[in-house]
Amino acid sequence: MKALESSKDVALSKEKAQWMYQKMVEIRQFEDRVHELFAKGILPGFVHLYAGEEAVAVGVCAHLNDKDSITSTHRGHGHCIAKGCDLDGMMAEIYGKVTGLCKGKGGSMHIADFDKGMLGANGIVGGGFPLACGSALTAKYKKTDNVSVCFFGDGAQNHGTFHEGINLAAIWKLPVVFVAENNGYAEATPFSYASSCKSIVDRAIAYNIPGIKVDGKDVLAVYQAAEEAVQRARRGEGPTLIECVTYRNYGHFEGDAQTYKADQEKAEHKQDKDAILLFRNHLLNEQLLAEREVEAIEKSVEAAVNQAVKFSEESPYPNASELLTDVYVSY
């Protein structure tokens, strides 16, 4: 068990640094736009935004390829983007359009793209643990060196499936990396109230697997922890539990007044503790990217998000006949 770690001395190639910064900015801008569209009444349904937690999804997915799989949560947009899902197809899904990644039939809480190894956002808290074991079992059985990553929130670690999933992965030495996104609140309930353990990572001891807790706002710390865990899984040495301490900038869902958060806490996470600003400063200070390169990424992402909205608005809804497809129906 390691203490809270923060790392600034991770060696990144320029290409990797660019990719990571771009993905983080994509998540932020995508989510900020969804927030606006929802507030205007344009988007239907329940929407849970990932903004603020970008460093977790990106720091982990930086080590994955399209054959590696991830399971996700109700707060899944960030995982989708980090895993390479198409922004147009994601946004169209949230609009309920036929050009969405799930033909509009899944919506925000159920975006999936199996070609990218994204096994689906999930409306059931704790739904991902056994599923990650399943895709890892496939990898192990077929002797690929693929891994599964299970992203989950601090609320899910109190769910029975957490224990069943991690124990199963541990006894079968499945190539799974369990990534806790501890954003401090399960819905409107503080982590400190709902969890008997002060740290999620303490629970790794119970299953005799490695556990590491990192600053989930520091993408390099996440990157470093995930590298070791992913390699360990690829080598067939079994699962690891990583706890990333993070924060969600928006509410549990759009429309949540967030009265349970203190104003000062909200403000500091949008300024001094912002994962994207921290990484941006690092990239510039270390001269990994020049100011104009960083700005070029930000501009290109803005254009891509604009395009995703335009694409979604111009796309048609599914035809009525789609109601009865993709399921065995005779009545």
Binding footprint of other proteins on the chain (CB under 8 A): 44-46, 96-98, 102-110, 122-126, 155-156, 158-161, 186-190, 192-195, 256, 259-260, 262, 317-318, 320, 322-324, 327, 329-331
Decide if 183 contacts 153 (C-beta within 8 A): yes
Cα–Cα distance, 7 to 167 (Å, whole number): 30
- Give the residue with the Cβ less far from other proteins, 62 or 102: 102
- Give the residue with the Cβ less far from other proteins, 158 or 231: 158
Q: Please, what is the minimum distance in Å from the beta carbon of residue 329 to other proteins?
A: 5
- Helix%, strand%, coil% for the chain, nearest 5: 50, 10, 40
Q: Please, what is the minimum distance in Å from the beta carbon of residue 72 to other proteins?
A: 13
Q: Please, what is the minimum distance in Å from the beta carbon of residue 221 to other proteins?
A: 27
Round to the nearest angstrom and report the end-to-end CA distance of the chain: 55
- Give the residue with the Cβ less far from other proteins, 96 or 117: 96
Q: Please, what is the minimum distance in Å from the beta carbon of residue 133 to other proteins?
A: 17
Q: Please, what is the minimum distance in Å from the beta carbon of residue 158 to other proteins?
A: 4
Decide if 74 contacts 292 (C-beta within 8 A): no
Q: 5 φ, ψ to 5°? A: -115, 145
- Give the residue with the Cβ less far from other proteins, 110 or 173: 110
- Give the residue with the Cβ less far from other proteins, 187 or 228: 187
Q: Please, what is the minimum distance in Å from the beta carbon of residue 186 to other proteins?
A: 5
Is residue 150 within a helix (H) or strand (E), and if so which, with residue range? strand 148-153
Closest CA to 83 of 69, 100, 104: 69
Token pair, residue 73, equals 């949560």
Token pair, residue 163, equals 């224990």
Cα–Cα distance, 212 to 204 (Å, whole number): 9
Strand partners, 182: 245
Cα–Cα distance, 54 to 23 (Å, whole number): 8
- Give the residue with the Cβ less far from other proteins, 170 or 186: 186
